[in-house]
Structure formats: structure tokens, C-alpha cells
Amino acid sequence: MNQNKTFTRRSALRTLAGLPLAAMIGAPRLAGAAAPEYVFKYGNNLPTSHPLNVRAQEAAARIAQESNGRMEVRVFPNNQLGGDTDMLAQVRSGGIDMFNAGTMVIATLAPISAITAMGFAFSNDQEVWNAVDGKLGNSIRAAFAKVGLYTLEKMWNNGFRQITSSSHPVATAADLDGMKIRVPVSPMGISLFKSLSAAPTSLQFSEVYSALQTKVVDAQENPLAIVQTAKLYEVQKYCSLTNHSWDGYHLVVNGRAWRGLPDDLKTIYARAFNEAGLQQREDLVKLNTTLQDDLSSKGMQFNTAEAQSFREQLRKAGFYAEWKEKFGAEAWALLEESVGKVS
């Protein structure tokens, strides 16, 4: 389980094909097997073919093996347990034990989380990992602890977000003027696109496909892996490579459930998911190198946007000044320690 695997869409599907169907929804115990002492339910909003679910299933299998069956992790993908805000509420109440919270979604509980989604803050993946594995990430995890959530050390990768549309490509900030675009249920997403003169609408991810299909919104923004695995290419024609925001997942655990685990199981659990997270980061980077060709073959038209016009519009609209004040000087300094001057 510890060795890295070359990841492709085909290897993801082969991995999933080798799992029994019950593994996708929480495998029952084999007849005669001792009942696990601890069972954790892990809910997420991503399709089973996404790298996150492939690696999560591997982590769950590893935990079962290394704990000698004392602990079982049941993975519930693809919004089986509700939308993002539903699962976030459930993990706080103890209805589920773990949820991979997107940076902007969980910012409704701990606003500092959204700082890693700051518009055009990061230039590359290494800048991201320097920030989230370092002092800034530690500050974010400490904020989650204050609202009753234990957070695993390593964030998982969702990648840089791109804009897709059914109406026209986005090459400069002016192309967003008046565009009806879906954003996550988060103040940061709304603020970013309002500052760019778009018309953002907050929807849970489970509602995105139908909203695009019925023209409730004309556009959305997500990393390419989400566009591909959620089949958004079926309802979107243009994909503009803006890299406007980085997104990742905090694996948050109900605090009471975590404290209830013996120390040896905490070690096994954290090691399995943190090491799987490092592998998933690389999986997504490799996958993104192939996705543009794949999506083009499905009819999407690509263009590369010019970042400078967006940054200028955000400065002009007071976006950076507003969020620097909201996050506070200390958090802003930790961000700039990793990426250089943002505004």
C-alpha cells in the first residue's frame, strides 16, 4: 500500500473494478468474522472514479489490515449522504465520522480556511504545499479544532479551478461581465466573482449538473478532474484555463469520535490517510496532464486566460484589501510568507 502507483483514469477504473460493490457503500462483515470495535463512516461528494475515492478505499483497506479488523472505515462517495453543507453538519453532530471538506465550504465554520482559495494567490503546486503543510496550514487546523473537528495533517488535492461555460470562452476579466456562474456555498466564491463583475449563484455540488442543464446558470468553476468525473462536458462547451483559485480537501473528523479511538488506532488511521493523501496529490497532478486532451475529444473547446487582467480587476474592486482585513494581518503574513506579495 505504501508504494506510489502511476495513476490514470484507466488504472482508477481497474482499481475500482477489483473492489466488491459493497466496498463502495460500506462492506458488511464476512460471515464468522469478529465485529470491528470501531466503525467510521466517511462521506464525500466525489464520483467513485475520482483519485480521492480510489486512494480513500486503499486507506480504508489498509486500516482494516493494520488494525487486524478492529477498525472499519466505510466510504460513502458521490453525495450518498447528502450535499457538502449537509455532510459538514453531520460530521459536526456525529452523524458521520469524517468528511473531506473543501476549503471554501468549511470556511463557513472557520473563515481562515478560505485563505488558501484566494484568487490568483498561488502560481504552482509547490507553493500550495509549502503553505498548507506549514505554518498557514497549522493555523487553519487549529481553527477547526475550536469548532470541534480534528483535522488530519495532510490536505488532499482538488487542483486549480478553471471556468467552464455554455455561452462563450473567458479570456479576460471583461468576459465575465454579467455571467451567471455557479460557485460553492461560500462567501469567498461569491466575493471573488462579484468583484469580477459576474453574477455568482451558490449551489451545492450535487445540484451543479442539473443547474447547468436547465440553464439556471450558464457557467461553473472547478478543477478539470471534477469537470471530467462529473461529466460536466455534457452540459458545457467552453473551458477557460484561468487557474484562478486553488482548491483542496481537509479531512475533518468528529472530535468526540476521534478522542474515543485508542492511541494505536489513531496512529494507524492518521498514517493511512496522510500517506494516501500524499499519493492522491500526485495522482491528480498526473491526471490533469491528460485531461485536456480527453475533454477536447468530448467536444470541449479550450483557451488559456490572461491572469493579469483578472488581478487588476480584483485590485480595482478592492477584493484583496477587503479580504486582507477579514483574515487579519497575521494570517495574511503567513500566506505571503509562502507565495510572496499577494496584493
- Give residue-wise pLDDT tens across range 178-232: 999 999 888 888 999 999 999 999 998 889 999 999 999 999 999 998 899 899 9
pLDDT, greater one: 208 or 18: 208
DSSP 173-235: GGGGTT-EEEE-SSHHHHHHHHHTT-EEEE--GGGHHHHHHTTS-SEEEE-HHHHHHTTGGGT
- Burial track 271-307 (b if 16+ CB lie within 10 A, e otherwise): bbbbbbbbbbbbbbeebbeebbeebeeeebebeebeb
Which of the following CATH numbers is that of domain 38-339: 3.40.190.10, 2.60.40.2130, 1.20.58.340, 3.40.190.170?
Answer: 3.40.190.170
Task: Return mean pLDDT, the chain.
Answer: 90
pLDDT band at 31 (very low <50, low <70, confident <90, very high): very low
Q: For residues 12-35, give the mean pLDDT.
A: 48
Q: Give the span between the Cα atoms of 332 and 215, in whole angstroms.
A: 37
Residue 17 contacts residue 61 (beta carbons within 8 Å): no
* Amino acid 197: pLDDT: 97
The closest alpha carbon to 181, from 163, 195, 204, belongs to 163
DSSP 43-94: E-SS-TTSHHHHHHHHHHHHHHHHTTTSEEEEEE-TTTT--HHHHHHHHHHT
Q: 246 forms bridges with which residues in the sheet?
A: 160
* Amino acid 2: pLDDT: 42
Residue extents of the structural domains in the chain: 38-339
pLDDT, greater one: 105 or 245: 245
For residue 10, how many other CB atoms are within 10 A of its CB? 8
CA distances from 256 to 80, 121, 124, 147 (A): 23, 35, 36, 12
- Give residue-wise pLDDT tens across range 62-104: 999 999 999 999 999 999 999 888 999 999 999 999 999 999 8
**Does residue 3 have a pLDDT over 50?**
no
* Angle (nearest 5°) at CA 275 between 105 and 113: 20
**Residue 180 cell numbers, joined:** 451567471
Q: Give the span between the Cα atoms of 83 and 93, in whole angstroms.
A: 15
**Does residue 14 have a pLDDT over 80?**
no
Mean pLDDT is lowest, of 34-38, 60-64, 265-269, for: 34-38
Q: Could you tell me what percent of the chain has a pLDDT over 70?
A: 90
Q: How would you class 112 by CB atoms within 10 Å of its CB: exposed for 0-12, middle for 13-18, buried for 19 or more?
A: buried
Q: Give the span between the Cα atoms of 102 and 88, in whole angstroms.
A: 10
Instruction: Tell me the longest C-alpha to C-alpha distance in the chain.
Output: 67
**Does residue 280 have a pLDDT over 50?**
yes
* Amino acid 182: pLDDT: 98
**Does residue 20 have a pLDDT over 60?**
no
* Amino acid 25: pLDDT: 42
* Amino acid 24: pLDDT: 41
* Amino acid 184: pLDDT: 87
* Amino acid 246: pLDDT: 95
DSSP β-ladder status, 238-254 and 98-102: antiparallel
pLDDT, greater one: 332 or 186: 332
Residue 42 contacts residue 73 (beta carbons within 8 Å): yes
pLDDT band at 135 (very low <50, low <70, confident <90, very high): very high
